[in-house]
Chains A and B, each alone.
Chain A
């Protein structure tokens, strides 16, 4: 959550258009993660905790080098380790920095019912505003990457902010700043796409890694975090990165047609009984005893 005054593109749970929506344009910011040069040092994990003011929590042994099985409400950035056996039988240790992907079409924002609890800035950062969050967990159902996490003490949802407080002041995110190998880059989406494609081409042409490519899933409108993968045809091997992520169709239906079908049904129900009253009126009983089925 940032105190900075960034222009807003979209806000959650809002009746009518978002105030200030579409009045400003901005560069799309983007984080590039090159998994082929990540050494899994976890400096980014520490930098994330430091910048966001969380202390290091208990780690959970997961039979690998991984700090814990998933990100947590106070642990937004996690290197996922996977030992992946390739087709030729050789082993490749896959390390992927897992965090919020900052989707252009964010499922969390679509699912959120609380006015202004999730905002998308014009620079593409998707951010939770905890003061507006009601803790319902709908964003958990909306997210195709399993990112939003619930703090049971404050009953609010948390996730990576892409260091919106740093970015709005012209700084790069804390994780980028800490990376010792330079596998993390930050800039505009266009520049990062360019850099990623160049790197993927280099991997294919100079290193013989034929399936190397860029992960920028179109199903969620592209993301504000993109990856260079050794094998872009199998992103699941990188700790369950979905191959073709979408906002779940149930969430789309629920927040789209179902809303209007349901609202119209409720409205017609109320209008229906009102019209019934106008047409037929109340059922009165007459004080005389009727022995023949109520006939006078």
Chain B
């Protein structure tokens, strides 16, 4: 990271600021710590997804072979689930201030159709994360809480006494519903992060975006980081 990188607001104290926001320049969007946490979460989630789908359907049981067979998958699935929960809580600690709904989000939400149809010129400006990204964050956050609680029930199913067996059935229901909800979000997240929003994928790997990218997709954030750094001068 060069010494003149523009710092994102609040959550990235480790980055050093850049001077201006001139075209062609790069802005630091995700610090190294943020990127590492994102990818740790991704690793844990994808492991749980592969093994979970194997347990979900006989037609996908072969997926368990990819990670060492059924018993191995069954042994590690809950532990990776715990790891994913921890990484999610870490992301929560890191990103919560950026993920709260703002007035800009409410305006953006009303015009969301333009975002879906790539009519971005009709969109009101957004901050560091747009409303859709925030929605995905909270979906995964609450999803993982439900998955963890119900997952403990499935993990130690025999410890739930027979008289409280409705808890066994509740655990199955909640685990399946929460997993499917996160898979829905995950499909959209992968699609948007790789194919749809060009520049997004490199930003979560190398951390930087172009000033144009920042201005187009996250204008309020762009203005904030450039103004803040010029005011600091």
Return B179 CB to nearest CB of chain A, in Å.
9
B191 touches A277 (CB 8 A): yes
Number of B residues near A (Cβ < 8 Å) is 52
Which residues of A, 65-91, contact B by the 8 Å Cβ criterion?
A: none
With A and B bound together, what is the CA distance between A287 and B198 in angstroms? 13
Distance, CA A115 to CA B59, complexed state (A)? 10
CB-CB < 8 A to B154: which residues of A?
136-137
Query: Least Cβ distance of A242 to chain B in Å?
Result: 10
Cβ-defined contact, A282 with B195, below 8 A:
yes
With contacts A113-B56, A273-B188 taken as known, whether A134 is within 8 angstroms of B172 at the C-beta atoms is no
Chain A residues with CB under 8 A of B64:
134
With both chains docked as a complex, state the minimum distance between the C-beta of A8 and any C-beta of chain B, in angstroms: 15
- Determine whether B184 belongs to the interface, using a CB cutoff of 8 Å to chain A: yes
Chain B residues contacting A280 (CB-CB under 8 Å) are 116-118
Please name all residues of chain A whose beta carbon is closer than 8 Å to the beta carbon of B158 when the two chains form the complex: 137, 140, 149-150
Q: Is the CB of A113 within 8 A of B55?
A: yes
**B54, B187, B215: the one within 8 Å of A269 (CB):** B187
Chain A positions 41-87 with a Cβ under 8 Å from a chain B Cβ: none
Which residue on A lies nearest to B71, using beta carbons? A134
Interface stretch of the complex, out of A193-201, A202-210, A259-267: A259-267
The answer to whether B172 and A13 touch across the interface, beta carbons within 8 angstroms, is: no
Q: Is A182 an interface residue, CB under 8 A from the partner?
A: no
Q: Is the Cβ of B196 less than 8 Å from the Cβ of A283?
A: yes
A141 at the interface (CB under 8 A from B): yes
**A192→B114 CA distance, assembly (Å):** 71
Chain A residues with a Cβ closer than 8 Å to the other chain, count: 49
Interfacial chain B residues near A134, Cβ < 8 Å:
55, 64, 70-71, 73-74
Residues of B within 8 A of A13 (CB): 58, 61
The proximity string for B residues 125-166 relative to A, scoring 1 for CB distances below 8 Å and 0 otherwise, is 100000000000000000000000000001001100010010
Q: Is A258 an interface residue (CB 8 A)?
A: yes
Instruction: Answer whether A295 and B121 are a contact pair too, CB < 8 Å, given A262-B176, A266-B187, A269-B187.
Output: yes
Contact status A277-B196, CB under 8 Å: yes
- Which of chain B's residues have a CB closer than 8 A to the CB of A294? 120-121, 216
What's the dominant secondary structure at chain A's contact region? loop
Query: Does any Cβ of A come within 8 Å of B168's Cβ?
Result: yes
Q: In whole angstroms, how far apart are the Cα atoms of A13 and B210 in the complex?
A: 50
What is the distance, in angstroms, from A204's C-beta to the closest C-beta of chain B? Answer: 32
Complex: A138 Cα to B212 Cα, angstroms: 52
**Contacts known (A259-B57, A262-B176); A137 close to B196, Cβ less than 8 A:** no
B212 lies within 8 A of A140 (CB)? no
Q: Does A170 contact B (CB under 8 A)?
A: no
Rounded to whole angstroms, the CA-CA distance of A161 and B125 in the bound complex is 67
In the bound complex, what is the Cα–Cα distance between A25 and B157 (angstroms)?
A: 36
Q: Does B90 interact with chain A (Cβ within 8 Å)?
A: no
B23 lies within 8 A of chain A by Cβ:
yes
Contact with A285, one of B75, B176, B216 (Cβ below 8 angstroms): B216
Q: Are B184 and A269 in contact (CB under 8 A)?
A: yes
Given A273-B195, A276-B191, A295-B121, output 15 extra A-B contacts at Cβ < 8 Å.
A15-B58, A113-B61, A134-B55, A155-B71, A273-B187, A280-B116, A282-B196, A282-B197, A283-B217, A286-B212, A286-B216, A287-B23, A289-B212, A293-B121, A293-B123
Which 6 residue pairs across A and B have the least CB separation, nearest first?
A134-B70, A250-B169, A273-B191, A269-B187, A134-B74, A137-B157
B residues whose Cβ falls under 8 Å from a Cβ of A: 23-24, 54-59, 61, 64, 70-71, 73-75, 116-118, 120-123, 125, 154, 157-158, 162, 165, 168-170, 172-173, 176, 180, 183-184, 187-188, 191, 195-199, 210-213, 215-217
**What are 16 A-B pairs at a CB distance below 8 A?**
A15-B57, A15-B59, A115-B61, A133-B71, A134-B64, A134-B74, A137-B157, A140-B158, A250-B173, A251-B172, A254-B172, A266-B183, A282-B195, A283-B118, A283-B197, A285-B199
